[in-house]
Structures are given as structure tokens and as C-alpha cells.
Structure 1
Amino acid sequence: MMDVSRRYANPLIEQRADPFIYKHDDGYYYFTASVPEYDRIELRRAATIEGLREAKPEVIWRKREKGMLSANIWAPELHRMDCKWYVYFAAAHTTETDEGLFDHRMYALENDSANPLEGQWVEKGQVKTAWESFALDATSFEHRGKHYYVWAQKDPNIPGNSNLYISELENGWTLKGPQTMISRPEYDWEKIGFSVNEGAAVVKHGGKLWMTFSGSATDHHYCMGLLFADEDADLLDAASWTKLPEPVFRTNEENGQYGPGHNCFTVGENGEDLLVYHARSYKEIEGDPLYDPNRHARVKVFAWREDGLPDFGVPEPDTAAAEAADQVGK
């Protein structure tokens, strides 16, 4: 039986936003995230979730000095497809007027080594979509033999900053067939500061696919929403997806946790379902929140309600690593 009472030491890894953990069948956990400098992509691995904290990060790719792929390297994710590793990430570009710093596009790296910390990472280029517009936060998942790609993008004809789209993958870096918008900011909690749907993550449970995403600006208003679809549905049909009208994970003043979001899912060593996310431990931010480095990677066990919905609870307070480790060992 899943132990939902387990507590992990938080923060898991400091100053790592947009955290992503992949549990591979080699028994290792692999971790990547945005670094505060936004200039490189790192990977680390460990046999346990807690072990990722002290694991040595290996730089697998660095930004270019100028032009495309030279600025604001955001939200890398590690995925496995056709016996190869892929890292999806977003990158902007430098110009003489800095106008390209937030004009992101999505890119893919490929590695055919068994261990993604070894071998060579090869640039496969931009993941092309229907428009040349702001795009980021790609994720991927497999369902019934098909690989899907989900991302956030600005439709030039729709007001707002980004909507969520889905498409099937032809290979690790090429979309196949149509792309479908499955969510756009429509509720007030998705449109504070910026009108945003981004940072999607998928988990399967109880005959359904559950897709979390994040909305609003990256300050204390940032929070997580939820979409779901039946496992037998056509995932490329927008009508297959239902969106909850309220956020499912948000700032908790009592626990001193602000702006939780941009999550992923994994499982613990004992099979418990884990929510991996970032959050700050303070509310007031000087300057642009994107350049505040203290969005720390965190992890918590979550449960499933009797009606089938995930129950993420509230963001847990910061805990001393030694104290949490002692509790886990009991």
C-alpha cells in the first residue's frame, strides 16, 4: 500500500526552478531544471530522490555566445523515446536591442548512450509548430504506443501570453499531423500579471490522463491547474479534455510557500506518487521575478481521492534535511 504520510526534505535542491525528475528502468533518478544563470543544461542522477540533493551536476550543453540559442535557457526536460534520450528546452536569442530575450523557441537534444550523463548530446534543432512565435515548456508522454508532445505557445491571433497545445510526435524532435489547443487562460487565477498556461505535466491513473499546468505571473500568484481526459479518448480532440475551474495547488501563507508550480510527476522508491515542483519561501520580490533565483525544487507525496481526482494538498513548509531524513527513517 502506498505510504502517503512520507515526508521528504524540502527544499530538495535550492535555486533550481522548473524541476524535472525522470525515473529510469536502470534504477536511477535523473534530475534537470532551469539554473539561475539561464546559460546551460545540467543533469544529475542518484539511486534515491534524496540522493539527488548531493549528486554532482554534469553540464551537458551550454548556450551560444550570440544569435539563436544564446539567452534565457529555460525548463529542460529529459525524456526517453525509441531507445534514445531527448532533452527538450526553450531558448531565446540576443540582439543589439535585447528584443529577443523573451522571444523563445523550443529545441531538442539527442543522446543514444545508455547513460544520459555519458556519450554525446547532439542538437536536433528547433521543434517546429504552426507558428513562429513565443513557445516554451515542452513535455512528452507515451500512451498506447504513441508519443505525444505538449507545449505552451503564443497564438498570434489570440490575446494573452501562452496556451497549451498537443500533437503526436513523428520522432524525438518532429511533430506529426495536427496540433490542437487544449487549454487557454480563461479564469481569473490564470491571468494575474500575465495570461498564461504553461509547464504541463502528465500522469496516468484510474483510467484517465491527468495534466497539470501553471498559470499567472511567476510571483506568489503562480499556481497549478488541472486538465483530464479519458484513456480511451482521442487526445488530439480538444473536446476530450476537461478543465477544472479552480487551481489545485497554490500559495500557502501558513506554510510560507509562495508561487508553487511548473511541476512534474515521478514515483518514490516505494512506489508512492510524487509531485515535483518549485516554490519560493518568501512573498516580496525585488525586480523581475524571473531573475529572482530562489525558486527551489521541492517534492511531496500526493494521494488520490475517492472520486478519482488527485489530491495535492498544500505546499509543505521548509524542513531541515536532517530532521526530514530522520522522520523518513522511522
Structure 2
Amino acid sequence: MQVQRINRRWGEVNLPKIGRVRFRWTKDLPGVTRGGPQGRITGARLVKNAFGWSIVFRTETLLPALRQAHPGPAVGIDRGVTVALALSDGTTREHQPWLSRGEREHLRRLEKKSARQRATRAQGRPQGRPQGRPQGRPVSHRLARTYAQIGRVRAIAKRRALDWQHQTTTELADTFSLIVVEDLKIPGMVRSAKGTIEAPGRNVAQKAGLNRSISGEAWGRGVTLMEYKSAGRGGKVVKVPAAGTSQTCHRCGHRDPAARQGIRFACTDPGCGWAGHADINAAINIEHAAGTAVSGRGDLTVGRSAKRQPPHAA
């Protein structure tokens, strides 16, 4: 590809069938930047989003050998919608809405505008012709501009979500040697509740809103980031079965679905009676289940024993 740095801000690369293309230099590349990381560039791909074209380089770098295991403690993490991340040490990691109030209002108006433009175009069709845009037919220039504006607003939200996830997962990988998360089947969790004509679904609108919230948190991407960051720091990420973690009291082990009410958990066992934050309780149960891991990534010598640990005396 013959990557060459022109100055502090710009570089050039050879692209097949295009030629020499200039790109904005945002990060040091191994083998190109003076004093940069050791390694080489193994490939690249072009990405088009709402902000234009970008080039993503695939690199191979040499990491220093780990002299010792990660010295940090272990932690269980419960992923949610109301609270983004709840940790077994009693802390949480939360974020603000990805879009401000003004940006959300701007997006709402753009979506209403696109609906009006689609309706106006449909009204101009002759009688008997199908409504909407036929598959393969281009949209109008006005509607295409509106779609582009909607895409840019949504791309801003996606960039902010990814930035928060990178910062949060880096902090977690630096702090903890063993990170335990639930083995969630996310595609099944965000499945539509519409049902069929013979058996229509119930609470379809509520389930659709929950699906959007789960997708907006990008749980799977967050675990992927934690896995490779923990492995590079001598830590480990393991996944445990998710059944019962939010319905079981971490102190006495009593399981009752009625014990959880929203974000509050109150044990129904008369001999216990523990009450507290439901997500923190679930995170402690997840940490206790580290001995029943279904998968893991990182240094296998790091962390506590594979045996089940006793419950915390909260």
C-alpha cells in the first residue's frame, strides 16, 4: 500500500484501481511512524458511514512479555438497561443519553419530515399502484438528503457510545484481574414479540422499546473489548450461566422471582431479609459463579480458584 506520512496531520496510501489517496492521520502506525510501535501493517479496509469515507488499517505489533499476573481483584459485572454496568464491589458505571435533548428533538423532527416526504410521494402515484418505494427504485433527492441528516445524528450517538465503552472497559481491565460476566444469548433477547396471525404477541410496543435499549447498550461489543484488553494486561474474562443470577439472594442463596421489584431486591427468606440494589446483588452472584464458567479468555493462571467462593457477608 506504500503508506507515507506527509506531515503531522496527513498521510497518503495507494489504493487498488484508485491510486494515491490522502487521509487524515489520527494514530501512530507501526513501521511508518518514527518512534512508534514496532510491527507492520498487514492490511486495510475502506469504511463508509454518515460522515464520509474512512480507512481502517490492520496492524501487527509486538507486545512486551508479561512478567507477572495482574495484581488486581476479581469482580462480577451485571449488564443492564437502567444501570449500564453494576459491579460486585458495590459501584456502577453509568452514562448520560447518547444524544442531548436538542439532538433528540432534531432527530424526531427529521424522522417526521421523512415520513411526510414518503407520504407525499405516495399520494402522487396513480390509482392502483403500490404505496411506498418499489424495491430497487431510487428515492427522491429531498428524501435522500433527509435520510443523510438522520444518519449523521445517529452516527454521532454511535460514536459517543463506542467512546464510552472504550474508556470504561480500559478502566475495568486496568483495575481487575478477573472479570466475570453472564453468558447472555443477546440475539434471542432482542427477538421481536409480534408473533403470528394465529398467535399474536402481547406488549409488542414495550418489547420493541426494550429491544432498542438493549441494542443501544451493545452488550456483546463491550465484552469483546474487555476480553482483549484484559488479555493484554495479564487478566482474564470468563462467562458464566445467566440463569437465576437476578432472582437469588447473594447472602443466603434463597431464590424467588418475586424478590426482585425493579431495581430493588428484597430477600423473601424470613431468616435472611437482605435488601439492596438488585443489579449489585446480581453482580455478586455472577462473581460467585466464576467456578462454573462456560468460556474464558486471558491468562488461565490469573484470578481465584476454580472452586465456588463463599458468599459475601454483606
Q: Same fold (TM over 0.5)?
A: no
Higher share in helix: 2
Larger gyration radius, structure 1 or structure 2: 2
Tell me the TM-score normalised to structure 2 length. Answer: 0.23
Tell me the TM-score normalised to structure 1 length. Answer: 0.22
